Amino acid sequence: MFELDLRSRAPIYEQLVEKIKELIINKVLKPDEQLPAVRVLAGELTINPNTIQKAYRELEHQGYIYSIPGKGSFIRPAVPEDNTARMQTLENELSRILSEMLYLGMPPRNIITRIKTLLPEGEGGKIDD
């Protein structure tokens, strides 16, 4: 389910957080689906259970999962009203990235075209202008 790069400079828990977020965003993991138990995943990945627990705590803090004591951790359904702080963070990050692209000389038209190709079809993506 997860492939981690043990030689990467990124901490293992951060790699795990990013992999799980990617699976949630790409709808591989569905809302209310249960994540593997900490001990089970630690055994599969042969890493310390505390590392898995740290990743799960971070995902819960970011609003991607929720925990039920005694039951486990589950994928949190997206609720747009609950994501205002995270959306603001992402908008700031996007603004920084766009500014850097403009600084490096990419014309605004090319940026818009690139964004459209990254959006899913039906959401404004893959449109030829």
List pLDDT tens digits, range 61-98: 988 999 999 999 999 998 766 667 777 888 999 999 99
Query: What percentage of the chain carries pLDDT values higher than 70?
Result: 90
| Three-state SS at 55 | helix
Output the pLDDT for position 4. Answer: 85
Beta strands in 9-87 (DSSP E): 65-68, 72-75
Output the pLDDT for position 120. Answer: 79
12-78 folds as: Arc Repressor Mutant, subunit A (1.10.10)
Rounded alpha-carbon distances, angstroms, from residue 32 to 9, 40, 61:
32, 19, 16
Band (126; pLDDT cuts 50, 70, 90): low
